[in-house]
Amino acid sequence: MTAKLVAACALVAIVGWSQASLAAGSEEAGQAKSATCVACHGTDGNSVNPEWPSIAGQHESYIVRQLMAFREGDRENVLMAPMAMNLSDQDIADLAAFFSSQKVSGGETEPGKLATGQRVYRSGNVESQVAACAACHGPSGRGNPGAAYPSIQGQHATYTAAQLRAYRSGARATDPNQMMRNIASGLSDEEIEAVASYVQGLR
């Protein structure tokens, strides 16, 4: 791991902890408030449409940060922005508590993309200076809530690839210290598709 990546990881860890002091959410209240989320994310947070993320089992703190980013306009999406704009801090905490308590169902890795996807995820790409995904997201994709690294385990390949392309183009810029934008900028289209498929099959 390079000195630059270590410094970036340390910064994100500090940011993650500083944003973690939020009001506790209620799973029961969150389930009651999740009715409007069901159409896209499913009753238990496992979406049926691969273009929409599965949020079951996602870290509570990460869900909170993303909903706040949508609410404040720091992250843009034509579907999520209007959903988040009227959520109170307590609503967000409750929804995060509910969806984080659910179990992600996951999918499978396409056999033809396994070798490349596994290589990028576990080792990165030295030539293009791409860090291994596992360095932050862990060997099984569970991430690290304290350091603000999300769980990506079993996430739809279509959604993951779309987010990596958005980071690469700069269309998504909610990553502290531009960590994901810097990493995605070194990924080829083939590597993005492969690693996204690999992530989909992680357990």
Q: What is the pLDDT of residues 25-53, one digit of tens each?
A: 999 999 999 999 999 999 999 999 999 99
What is the pLDDT, as a whole number, of residue 8?
44
pLDDT of the residue at 22: 59
SS (H, E, C) the chain: CCHHHHHHHHHHHHHHHHCCCCCCCCHHHHHHHHHHCHHHHCCCCCCCCCCCCCCCCCCHHHHHHHHHHHHHCCCCCCCHHHHHCCCCHHHHHHHHHHHHCCCCCCCCCCHHHHHHHHHHHHHCECCCCECCCHHHHCCCCCCEHHHCECCCCCCCHHHHHHHHHHHHHCCCCCCHHHHHHHHHCCCCHHHHHHHHHHHHCCC
Check whether 15 has a pLDDT greater than 80: no
Mean pLDDT of the chain: 91
